[in-house]
């Protein structure tokens, strides 16, 4: 049974989410503050965390950062749920490793579908093998990346961007396609965000960054084979 942790200080919202998640067949725990949420995350190791950003004791961004820094909870998929809907807020959320970002007021049914989608993608990712490509090695299940044998720390979003491009190697990926498939958004985040993340990903993975090719005026493409 998938485990979901709800970190939300508005009691009525917390109860609505918990009820609907249980109806969908999930095991649910709930917290009203950031510190309590972190404690429960370490105790229960949820698959998904629904995280409000406006908490009474600790900013949700700090909670997300702490979850992603802790080896025991870094696997948790974080869905930020907040009234902050500006592009800069979304970008910061994804930078911190959030898997999705939902703006209040939201459709409970849509949120349940997003949870189901993240759980499905996580299950599919675990069924895919680790891979080596030139100087790059990726272990999907462990969420680890090495270049020339040295481990590279990637955020959840960067990891997803890298593996998505690899799985579609030698095929051009348009920016709007990547926004939809990696960010799970269409118009809420601008295409410039893709360029920024590609640049940062290339910098992080060093020599392996050459495998991510720019197709001017179209998008990006992962090389068909490592250059000799």
Q: Which residue in 52, 50, 82, 58 sits closest to 188, CA to CA?
A: 82
pLDDT, position 187: 46
For the domain spanning 3-125, the CATH number is 3.40.50.2300
pLDDT, position 88: 66
What is the CATH class of 128-222? mainly alpha
Please give the backbone phi and psi of residue 215, each rounded to the nearest 5 degrees, phi first: -105, 100
The model carries a pTM of 0.65
Can you tell me which residue has the tokens 């961007």? 161
pLDDT, position 190: 67
The helix, strand and coil proportions of the chain, stated in percent and rounded to the nearest 5, come to 45, 20, 35
3-state class (DSSP) for residue 108: helix
Residue ranges per domain, the chain? 3-125, 128-222
Q: pLDDT in tens for each of the 228 residues of the chain?
A: 889 999 999 999 999 999 999 999 999 999 999 999 999 999 999 999 999 988 999 999 999 999 988 888 988 889 998 887 666 677 777 778 888 888 888 889 889 988 988 888 766 555 567 899 999 999 987 788 999 999 998 887 888 899 999 999 999 999 888 888 887 655 455 677 888 889 999 999 999 999 999 999 889 999 998 876
Beta bridge partners of 5: 29, 49
The encoded tokens of residue 49 equal 């965390």
In whole angstroms, give the CA distance from residue 111 to residue 184.
12
CB under 8 Å to 54, separation ≥6 — which residues?
A: 9, 60, 82, 83, 84
Q: Which residue in 1, 46, 9 sits closest to 26, CA to CA?
A: 1
Strands of 136-139's sheet, edge to edge? 131-133, 136-139, 144-147, 150-152
């Amino acid at each position: 049974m998938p485990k979901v942790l709800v970190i939300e200080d508005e009691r009525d919202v917390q109860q609505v989410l918990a009820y609907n998640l249980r109806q969908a067949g999930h095991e649910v725990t709930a917290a009203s503050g950031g510190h309590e949420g972190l404690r429960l995350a370490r105790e229960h190791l949820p698959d998904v965390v629904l995280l409000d950003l406006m908490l009474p004791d600790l900013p949700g961004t700090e909670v997300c950062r702490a979850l992603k820094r802790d080896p025991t909870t870094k696997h948790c998929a974080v869905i930020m749920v907040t009234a902050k809907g500006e592009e800069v807020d979304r970008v910061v959320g994804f930078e911190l490793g959030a898997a999705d970002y939902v703006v209040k007021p939201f459709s409970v049914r849509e949120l349940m579908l997003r949870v189901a989608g993240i759980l499905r993608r996580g299950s599919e990712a675990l069924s895919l093998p680790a891979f080596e490509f030139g100087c790059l090695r990726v272990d999907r299940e462990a969420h680890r990346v090495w270049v020339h044998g040295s481990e590279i720390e990637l955020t959840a979003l960067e990891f997803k961007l890298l593996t998505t491009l690899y799985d579609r190697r030698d095929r051009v990926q348009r920016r709007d396609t990547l926004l939809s498939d990696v960010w799970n958004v269409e118009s809420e985040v601008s295409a410039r965000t893709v360029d920024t993340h590609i640049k940062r990903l290339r910098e992080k993975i060093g020599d392996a960054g050459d495998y991510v090719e720019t197709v001017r005026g179209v998008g990006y493409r992962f090389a068909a084979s490592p250059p000799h």
